[in-house]
Chain A
Amino acid sequence: MSKLSDLFIPGLISLSLFALAGTELRSHPTEDASKTHIAVWVGWSGFEYDAFQGVVNDYNKSQNKVFVDLLSITGNSTKTLISTSAGIPPEISLLSAAEIPQFADAGAIEVLDDECKLHGWTEDKYVPGYWDVLQYHGHTMALPATPSTVALHYNTDILKRAGYDKPPETIEEMDEMVNKITKVEDGKVKLAGFLPAEPGWWRWSWGPFFGGQLWDGKSRITMNTPENLRAMKWVESFSKRFGPAQISSYKSGFGVFASPENAFLADKVAMEVQGVWMHNFIQKYNPKLQWRAAPFPYPKDRPDLKGHTIIEQDIFVLLKNCKHRQAAIDFLAYLQKQGPMEKLCLGQKKSSPLRVKSPEFWAKHDNPSIHLFDDMAYSKSCFSTPKLGIWPEYDAEIANALDEVSLLRKTPEEAIRAIDERMQPKLDQYLNRLEKRRRAGK
């Protein structure tokens, strides 16, 4: 064999592999190449994804310049982070509003102030609570997708059996109801009136529900305040009343959220904080459940907090250095119109972030408490996660502290002090480094 043919096969294999490695990851085999393709990544799946796909299909059909490649991704924010750091971000990604500071501080998302002016995306157009979470350091960093507030969902049958025909209005009333409803037999909890750790999604919120703040908005962690301490003591009171081991053991019998074994759906917990989406799961897993929703109770001596709620929102961000910025803006503009937005929110059975809603939206929405969820977003005492770049770590620290308190391993005072002592240096360091980067223009 000649020298050339000796090297031909291994050389060909090597070249082929290199060529494959260089192939662009995103391919669009089915669509007209003359259109501008934009990548939109979302974490939605199931019916929530289908609802968005319907809106995307409408958009793709409505014009012939842009085609939206929609992708459902598990762990979307992590993958957005990785793709952005690699320099190949999607045009648009769906994040939660709590993630804005992290991405904004890192300079990974576009400021949308100019687009807001141009397209009339202003405070007047949106429900105040939902608009506020999009703002960071005076700039609009994202646009609303599907929002929600949370409310106390209560099982009317269980409450009736305990002699109550309406939900608690104050925390004190709620505590009294919990004492009456909760059943402990032979050292085992058989029914719980309410559990602060169920479902455990907003454990940071107990302080704000008692009027506390988690930071001063500038540079101080403010966990160690009377309101936050009061909240922590309230959480502790459940373990003192019913036993930490008993509660923990009872909780271990709860099934996963999206299942008939969900504690609220299985009549194991009479009252639970949940969002507008809970109705979907009730319909799917226990349609016979008798339930209602009401604002979460407020402390009796803080009537100013009446009607408070947590603002939750999925948001669209425009990634920096994406390929087709203008096409992405055009698609976002389409989504912010009343028709597409209502179609998306109705499809996902959520509230709409727009102030103006059509009569059809209300008529078609099958959540019996949709007006309540919508009204609460106008409340002056509504709150959301702190706009802090170190929020994920702070959140984890609060969750751990509540765990320690619930297990009676730490007193509320010790737990709160520990959070402050750990998080304040972290915040100082974060802000210092951010400032240094800003000065260095990095």
Chain B
Amino acid sequence: MMRRKEGRAGFLFALPWLFGLLAFMFYPLLMSLYYSFCDYSALRAPVWIGTDNYSELFHDEVFWTCVKNTLLYACVSLPLGMVMAIGLAMLLNLNVKGMSIYRTIFFIPSLVPMVSLAMLWLWILNGDYGVLNTALASIGIKGPNWLGDVAWSKPALILMSVWGVGNAMLIYLASLQDVPASLLEAAELDGANSWQKTRNVTLPMISPVIQFNMVMGIIGSLQVFAIPFVMFPGGTPARSTYFYAMYLYDNAFNYSRMGYASAMGWILFLVILLLTLVALKLSNKHVHYGGV
């Protein structure tokens, strides 16, 4: 009797959230699936056109340019970001005086709002007067035109993505602090050096966190939007920074092609789902759960 009462109260407490979930998540989700099969501009009633949006996408040259750009960005920025985050977390896990200050310093950049970050990097990467090229010039290297050269615009964005590793770093740091000291001591007694301890003890122990960050990274990097949207309007130069989410946004809000954009959204969803499942499947045998 008591449990049923508690259950009812719990349901009532959760009701606003449930309503929000149904109204603002499930309903739009289902509608966007429907719209993806429609000619729909958001201003007029949708008209069913079957799979036309999907077949048009597969013949859309700009769509494939965006897919290529996005995959290239994800393939480089994701592993780079993970290595940087793990590396920094390991350094910040050392027993050094004033460590909390270092940890704060490395975490602060990830708190900077995206648009401010974009404006800041516009100046850092400026081909003529940028801080980066000035620094490179001081050691005799002529820096490239990061923002205006097709060959360097994507590397510039990848470089910038490393700036935001603070969140992932923090999660790695927390997991590193959970690695049992007894295991590391045992390895040390067996004569393991630092690299062997890292490879055979530390990394396996934090592997669930690596897997989690990898999945989040796949999702985040395939949805890259805000920074290139601010820094490279229209994906300039020559659409070298035109990413999937930017083209989706343009179709939805600039070209009034909400149906086409919905189809793009569903393709992205399925690709992310597939990649996540593949990543989970491939990495499962390398992931060790301490409690299991």
Residues of A near any B CB (own CB < 8 A)? 3, 6-7, 10-11, 13-14, 17-18, 21, 78, 81-82, 84-85, 102-103, 106-108, 188, 245, 248-253, 389-390, 392-393, 396, 399-400, 403-404, 407, 409, 422, 433, 436-437, 440, 442
CA distance in complex: A14, B237 (Å)? 51
Cβ of B256 and Cβ of A437 under 8 Å apart? no
Cβ of A85 and Cβ of B45 under 8 Å apart? no
Please give me the 4 A-B residue pairs with the lowest Cβ-Cβ distance, nearest first. Answer: A106-B43, A248-B148, A10-B12, A253-B128
Closest Cβ of chain B to A20, distance in Å, is 9
The one of A13, A84, A188, A253 that contacts B16, using a Cβ cutoff of 8 Å:
A13
B103 at interface, CB cutoff 8 A: no
Cβ of A13 and Cβ of B126 under 8 Å apart? no
Task: Tell me the interface secondary structure of chain A in the complex.
Answer: helix
Cβ of B43 and Cβ of A103 under 8 Å apart? yes
Q: How many A-B contacts at CB < 8 Å in the complex?
A: 108
Residues in A with CB closer than 8 Å to B19 are: 18, 21
Cβ of A81 and Cβ of B256 under 8 Å apart? yes
Cβ of A102 and Cβ of B256 under 8 Å apart? yes
CB closest chain-B residue, reference A79: B253
CA distance in complex: A403, B234 (Å)? 11
B residues 1-17 in Cβ contact with A at 8 Å: 5, 8-10, 12-13, 15-16
Residues in A with CB closer than 8 Å to B239 are: 400, 403
Residues in B with CB closer than 8 Å to A436 are: 47
Cβ of B128 and Cβ of A249 under 8 Å apart? yes
Cβ of B44 and Cβ of A437 under 8 Å apart? yes
Cβ of A106 and Cβ of B44 under 8 Å apart? yes
The one of A14, A84, A251 that contacts B43, using a Cβ cutoff of 8 Å:
A84
Residues in B with CB closer than 8 Å to A7 are: 8-9, 12
Residues in A with CB closer than 8 Å to B175 are: none
Cβ of A18 and Cβ of B16 under 8 Å apart? yes
B254 at interface, CB cutoff 8 A: yes
The contact size tier of chain B is 35 or more
- A selection of 27 A-B contacts at a CB cut-off of 8 Å is A6-B9, A10-B13, A13-B12, A13-B13, A17-B16, A78-B253, A85-B42, A188-B128, A249-B127, A250-B128, A252-B126, A252-B128, A253-B129, A392-B250, A396-B250, A396-B254, A399-B234, A400-B235, A400-B238, A407-B150, A409-B150, A409-B238, A433-B39, A433-B47, A437-B39, A440-B47, A442-B47
Cβ of B237 and Cβ of A107 under 8 Å apart? no
B223 at interface, CB cutoff 8 A: no
B161 at interface, CB cutoff 8 A: no
Cβ of B145 and Cβ of A253 under 8 Å apart? no
Cβ of B148 and Cβ of A251 under 8 Å apart? yes
CA distance in complex: A367, B251 (Å)? 39
Cβ of A10 and Cβ of B39 under 8 Å apart? no
Residues in B with CB closer than 8 Å to A404 are: 238
CB closest chain-A residue, reference B258: A85
CA distance in complex: A135, B49 (Å)? 31
Cβ of B127 and Cβ of A253 under 8 Å apart? yes
CA distance in complex: A403, B34 (Å)? 36
- A6 and B5 in contact, given A78-B253, A393-B255 (Cβ under 8 angstroms): yes
CA distance in complex: A249, B254 (Å)? 29
CB closest chain-B residue, reference A3: B5
B41 at interface, CB cutoff 8 A: yes
Residues in A with CB closer than 8 Å to B5 are: 3, 6
B178 at interface, CB cutoff 8 A: no
B residues 246-269 in Cβ contact with A at 8 Å: 250, 253-256
CA distance in complex: A268, B39 (Å)? 47
Q: Which of B126, B145, B256 has the most CB of A within 10 A?
A: B256
CA distance in complex: A188, B129 (Å)? 13
CA distance in complex: A10, B255 (Å)? 45
- A252 and B145 in contact, given A81-B43, A400-B239, A404-B238 (Cβ under 8 angstroms): yes
CB closest chain-A residue, reference B23: A21
Residues in A with CB closer than 8 Å to B190 are: none
B276 at interface, CB cutoff 8 A: no
CA distance in complex: A400, B150 (Å)? 13
Residues in A with CB closer than 8 Å to B62 are: 422
CA distance in complex: A253, B15 (Å)? 55
Residues in B with CB closer than 8 Å to A103 are: 43
Closest Cβ of chain A to B58, distance in Å, is 14
B236 at interface, CB cutoff 8 A: yes
Beyond the given pairs A81-B43, A250-B128, 16 more chain A to chain B contacts, judged by CB atoms under 8 angstroms and listed by A's residue number, are A6-B9, A7-B9, A7-B12, A14-B12, A14-B13, A18-B19, A21-B19, A81-B253, A84-B43, A252-B126, A252-B148, A390-B255, A392-B254, A403-B238, A407-B237, A437-B39
